[in-house]
Protein backbone atom coordinates (compact mmCIF):
# COMPACT_ATOMS: atom_id res chain seq x y z
CA UNK A 1 0.00 0.00 0.00
CA UNK A 2 1.28 3.48 -0.88
CA UNK A 3 2.37 5.43 2.18
CA UNK A 4 3.55 8.95 2.87
CA UNK A 5 5.10 9.94 6.20
CA UNK A 6 5.90 13.53 7.04
CA UNK A 7 8.13 14.79 9.82
CA UNK A 8 8.19 16.61 12.05
CA UNK A 9 4.48 16.91 12.84
CA UNK A 10 5.04 20.48 13.97
CA UNK A 11 7.94 22.89 13.72
CA UNK A 12 8.43 26.26 15.31
CA UNK A 13 11.06 28.60 13.86
CA UNK A 14 12.22 32.10 14.49
CA UNK A 15 12.05 34.47 11.55
CA UNK A 16 15.18 33.94 9.48
CA UNK A 17 15.92 30.51 10.96
CA UNK A 18 16.25 28.09 8.02
CA UNK A 19 15.12 24.48 8.29
CA UNK A 20 13.83 21.47 6.33
CA UNK A 21 10.66 19.42 6.31
CA UNK A 22 10.81 15.73 5.42
CA UNK A 23 8.49 13.54 3.38
CA UNK A 24 9.34 9.86 3.13
CA UNK A 25 7.34 7.62 0.86
CA UNK A 26 6.70 4.03 -0.06
CA UNK A 27 5.03 3.66 -3.42
CA UNK A 28 4.86 1.20 -6.27
CA UNK A 29 6.31 3.12 -9.17
CA UNK A 30 6.46 6.81 -8.33
CA UNK A 31 4.80 8.94 -10.97
CA UNK A 32 5.22 12.21 -9.10
CA UNK A 33 5.68 13.81 -5.70
CA UNK A 34 3.81 17.00 -4.89
CA UNK A 35 4.04 19.67 -2.23
CA UNK A 36 1.07 21.75 -1.12
CA UNK A 37 0.62 24.52 1.40
CA UNK A 38 -2.56 24.76 3.49
CA UNK A 39 -3.55 27.77 5.55
CA UNK A 40 -6.09 27.36 8.39
CA UNK A 41 -9.65 27.18 7.08
CA UNK A 42 -8.49 27.03 3.46
CA UNK A 43 -7.98 24.34 0.86
CA UNK A 44 -4.46 23.19 -0.07
CA UNK A 45 -2.52 25.34 -2.51
CA UNK A 46 -0.19 23.69 -5.01
CA UNK A 47 3.53 24.44 -4.71
CA UNK A 48 5.70 21.93 -6.60
CA UNK A 49 5.81 18.74 -8.64
CA UNK A 50 8.91 16.52 -8.64
CA UNK A 51 9.15 13.53 -10.96
CA UNK A 52 12.56 11.93 -10.54
CA UNK A 53 15.40 11.57 -8.05
CA UNK A 54 17.79 14.48 -8.17
CA UNK A 55 15.17 16.95 -9.32
CA UNK A 56 14.86 20.30 -7.52
CA UNK A 57 12.29 23.08 -7.69
CA UNK A 58 12.41 26.54 -6.11
CA UNK A 59 9.88 29.22 -5.33
CA UNK A 60 10.85 32.26 -3.29
CA UNK A 61 12.13 30.94 0.06
CA UNK A 62 11.12 27.34 -0.65
CA UNK A 63 13.15 24.65 -2.36
CA UNK A 64 11.97 21.08 -2.85
CA UNK A 65 14.29 18.17 -3.54
CA UNK A 66 13.67 14.49 -4.28
CA UNK A 67 15.57 11.26 -3.69
CA UNK A 68 14.44 7.70 -4.31
CA UNK A 69 12.89 7.43 -0.85
CA UNK A 70 12.16 10.93 0.38
CA UNK A 71 11.69 14.55 -0.40
CA UNK A 72 12.74 17.63 1.51
CA UNK A 73 11.18 21.05 1.57
CA UNK A 74 13.88 23.51 2.52
CA UNK A 75 12.79 26.86 3.90
CA UNK A 76 15.44 29.55 3.77
CA UNK A 77 15.16 32.60 6.03
CA UNK A 78 11.45 32.05 6.68
CA UNK A 79 9.02 34.87 7.39
CA UNK A 80 5.87 34.77 9.54
CA UNK A 81 3.75 34.56 6.38
CA UNK A 82 5.33 31.17 5.66
CA UNK A 83 3.41 29.79 8.64
CA UNK A 84 1.08 27.07 7.35
CA UNK A 85 0.70 23.31 7.11
CA UNK A 86 2.81 21.80 4.36
CA UNK A 87 1.41 18.67 2.77
CA UNK A 88 3.29 16.12 0.70
CA UNK A 89 1.52 13.79 -1.74
CA UNK A 90 2.58 11.03 -4.12
CA UNK A 91 1.07 9.53 -7.24
CA UNK A 92 1.76 5.91 -7.94
CA UNK A 93 1.78 4.02 -11.20
CA UNK A 94 -1.00 1.75 -9.99
CA UNK A 95 -4.75 1.75 -9.84
CA UNK A 96 -6.29 5.04 -10.73
CA UNK A 97 -3.06 6.95 -9.99
CA UNK A 98 -4.72 9.01 -7.29
CA UNK A 99 -2.81 11.38 -5.05
CA UNK A 100 -2.01 9.98 -1.60
CA UNK A 101 -1.38 12.72 0.96
CA UNK A 102 0.67 12.69 4.12
CA UNK A 103 -0.60 14.20 7.37
CA UNK A 104 1.42 17.38 6.95
CA UNK A 105 3.89 19.45 8.94
CA UNK A 106 2.51 22.46 10.81
CA UNK A 107 5.04 25.28 10.54
CA UNK A 108 4.92 28.33 12.77
CA UNK A 109 7.38 31.15 12.13
CA UNK A 110 7.62 33.69 14.92
CA UNK A 111 8.76 37.28 14.34
Residues that bind another protein (CB under 8 A): 4, 31-32, 34, 41-46, 49, 87, 89, 91, 95-99, 101-104
93-110 burial, b if ≥16 CB within 10 A, otherwise e? eeeeeeeeebebbbbebe
Among candidate residues 45, 24, 40, the one with its CA nearest the CA of residue 100 = 24
Min separation Cβ 17 and another protein, Å: 25
Find the shortest distance in angstroms from Cβ 16 to another protein. 28
In terms of CB distance, is 12 or 42 closer to another protein? 42
What is the closest distance, in whole angstroms, from the C-beta atom of residue 1 to another protein in the complex? 13
Number of helical H runs and strand E runs in the chain: 0, 11
CA-CA distances (angstroms) from residue 86 to 29, 48, 78, 93, 96?
Answer: 23, 11, 14, 24, 24
Q: Which is nearer to another protein, 18 or 52 (CB)?
A: 52
Among residues 7 and 49, whose Cβ is nearest to another protein? 49
Q: Give the nearest distance from C-beta 78 to another protein in angstroms.
A: 22
Q: What is the DSSP letter of 43?
A: -
* CB closer to another protein out of 63 and 76: 63
Amino acid sequence: EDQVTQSPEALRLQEGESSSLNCSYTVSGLRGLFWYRQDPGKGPEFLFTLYSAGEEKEKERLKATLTKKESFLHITAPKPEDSATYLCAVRANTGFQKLVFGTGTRLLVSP
